[in-house]
């Protein structure tokens, strides 16, 4: 049976930590979508590990890990990340990671094009990680992408990459500084070693599910960055919600045990796009500094604001969470008053909107209705059980629970894996 962990906001909620905690109970950990634009940080035994492309389940020495068909794979980053984990002392990582032969490849070519596309957009740039994710998914959708399985047919691979490069050269001309022969040469070096990790994911997943092997799916990015349901076009280029899990892994929907939505105790986002509860003043700065809100992947500072339950309720309607994990509760320890967004009001009529709007112009101008809650003004780190928390902190968690209508099963109270309350 599968447990699915998905971000409920704009990413950076702390999904990796929950995955790390759950991993000892599973035998297979899988990524379904995204690429090395994800960034999950895990602190284990005093060591900080940063994951981008690889599943966080590699922390658990008993867990096999799979990069699914819906993921786009930058091969140099795959090998670099493995090397980095080995340098930090993780054992046998190379024997516990597999890549679907149907996954598409992110080339350095895609990364260069990503940068050019962002420059073209100017002041309306998406704020991508420039990791080539969007262009890789674009070529996938246009049926000109190259899959992992094609790496092992050298003649075909070389021909298709040259064709891909020629198409982009026609589009960008001399602005594109790229040597296709150099990238082909590097894949000649990767080819043999890469073969050790490639697998037909479909029978692998079917066998695991038929034998009721405990599976953990690690979502990347989050629902509000979903290509269909996020703040389009300020989104990533894959389906980051529940739908992407099923299509990216060939997961049997009748064999899902739980779907856990991960919710940061306040709201952050990276990149452009409307953000209704963003605070550009003292509160936002304080959240950013105390919460160390800068990206694992890009180092960019995240935009910060109060918890937006309109967003969380909207994502719950799409992802159908069976429980929630509220993270980083400790970042609110010093706030005497805490605000929570509970509704958006139409800027013209003042009427309450039914849900999170698709119209970005409307979203950029909504008036936000807040509830104010009393802060607890004491540390929550070290609390081992729910009733060890200050009553105001418990009230905050219960407010979230009651508003969204979903049980808060896990509460993060600090960066370490031991700082998680389970209810």
> pLDDT tens string for the chain (423 positions)?
999 999 999 998 989 889 889 989 999 999 999 998 877 777 777 788 888 999 988 988 889 999 999 999 999 999 999 999 999 989 899 999 999 999 999 999 999 998 887 666 655 555 567 789 999 999 999 999 999 999 999 999 999 999 999 999 999 998 899 999 999 999 999 999 999 999 999 999 999 999 999 999 999 899 999 999 999 999 999 999 999 999 999 999 999 999 999 999 999 998 889 999 999 999 999 999 999 998 666 677 899 999 999 999 999 999 999 999 999 999 999 999 999 999 999 999 999 999 999 999 999 999 999 999 999 999 999 999 999 999 999 999 999 999 999 999 999 999 887 899 999
Query: What is the pTM for the complete model shown?
Result: 0.93
CA 56 to chain centre: 12
**CB neighbour class for 255 (10 Å; exposed up to 12, middle 13-18, buried from 19):** middle
- Write down the pLDDT at residue 127: 58
User: What is the distance between the alpha carbons of residues 60 and 90, in angstroms, rounded to a whole number?
Assistant: 9
User: What is the distance between the alpha carbons of residues 273 and 404, in angstroms, rounded to a whole number?
Assistant: 24
12 carries an active-site annotation: yes
- Write down the pLDDT at residue 299: 73
Most distant CA pair in the chain: distance in Å?
66
**Per-residue CA distances from 15 to 174, 248, 262, 264 (Å):** 41, 18, 6, 10
The DSSP element (H or E) to which 261 belongs, if any, is strand 256-264
- Write down the pLDDT at residue 50: 84
Contact call for residues 401 and 326 (beta carbons, < 8 A): no
Choosing from 20, 40, 110, 226, which is the catalytic residue? Answer: 40
Choosing from 12, 20, 226, 330, which is the catalytic residue? Answer: 12
The DSSP element (H or E) to which 365 belongs, if any, is helix 360-365
Contact call for residues 23 and 216 (beta carbons, < 8 A): yes
40 carries an active-site annotation: yes
Contact call for residues 417 and 44 (beta carbons, < 8 A): yes
Residue 255 has phi, psi (to 5 degrees) of -115, 40
- For the record, the structure tokens of 59 come out as 């922390």
Distance between the two ends of the chain, CA-based, in angstroms?
21
- Write down the pLDDT at residue 227: 96
User: What is the distance between the alpha carbons of residues 269 and 233, in angstroms, rounded to a whole number?
Assistant: 14
């Amino acid at each position: 049976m599968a447990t699915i962990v998905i971000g409920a906001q704009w990413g950076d909620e702390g999904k990796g930590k929950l995955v790390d905690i759950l991993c000892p109970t599973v035998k297979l950990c899988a990524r379904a979508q995204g690429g090395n634009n994800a960034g999950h940080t895990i602190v284990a035994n005093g060591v900080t590990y940063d994951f981008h492309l690889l599943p966080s389940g590699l922390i658990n020495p008993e867990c096999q890990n799979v990069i699914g068909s819906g993921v786009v794979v930058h091969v140099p980053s795959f090998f670099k990340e493995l090397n980095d984990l080995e340098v930090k002392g993780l054992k046998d990582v190379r024997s516990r990671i597999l890549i679907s032969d149907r996954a598409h490849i992110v080339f350095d070519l895609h990364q260069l094009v990503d940068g050019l596309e962002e420059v073209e957009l100017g002041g309306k740039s998406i704020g991508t990680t420039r990791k080539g994710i969007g262009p890789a998914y674009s070529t996938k959708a246009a049926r000109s992408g190259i899959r992992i399985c094609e790496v092992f047919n050298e003649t075909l691979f070389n021909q298709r990459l040259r064709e891909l490069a020629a198409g982009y050269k026609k589009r960008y001309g001399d602005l594109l500084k790229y040597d296709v022969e150099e990238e082909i040469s590097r894949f000649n070096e990767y080819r043999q070693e890469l073969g050790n990790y490639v697998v037909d994911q479909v029978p692998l997943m079917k066998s695991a599910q038929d034998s009721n092997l405990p599976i953990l799916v690690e979502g990347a990015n989050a629902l509000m960055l979903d290509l269909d349901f996020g703040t389009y076009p300020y989104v990533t280029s894959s389906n980051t919600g529940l739908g992407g899990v099923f299509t990216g892994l060939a997961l049997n929907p009748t064999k899902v045990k739980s779907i856990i939505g991960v919710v940061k105790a306040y709201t952050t986002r990276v990149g452009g796009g409307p953000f209704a509860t963003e605070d550009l003043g003292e509160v936002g700065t304080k959240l950013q500094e105390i919460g160390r809100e800068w990206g694992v992947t890009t180092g960019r500072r995240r935009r910060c604001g109060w918890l937006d339950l309109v967003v969380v309720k909207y994502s719950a309607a799409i992802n159908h969470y069976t429980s929630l994990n509220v993270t980083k509760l400790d970042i609110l320890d010093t706030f005497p008053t805490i605000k929570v967004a509970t509704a958006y009001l139409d800027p013209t009529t003042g009427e309450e909107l039914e849900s999170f709007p698709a119209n970005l112009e409307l979203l950029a101008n909504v008036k936000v209705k807040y509830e104010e809650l009393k802060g607890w003004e004491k540390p929550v780190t070290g609390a081992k059980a729910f009733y060890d928390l200050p009553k105001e902190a418990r009230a905050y968690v219960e407010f979230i629970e009651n508003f969204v209508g979903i049980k808060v099963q896990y509460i993060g109270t600090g960066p370490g894996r031991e700082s998680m309350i389970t209810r």
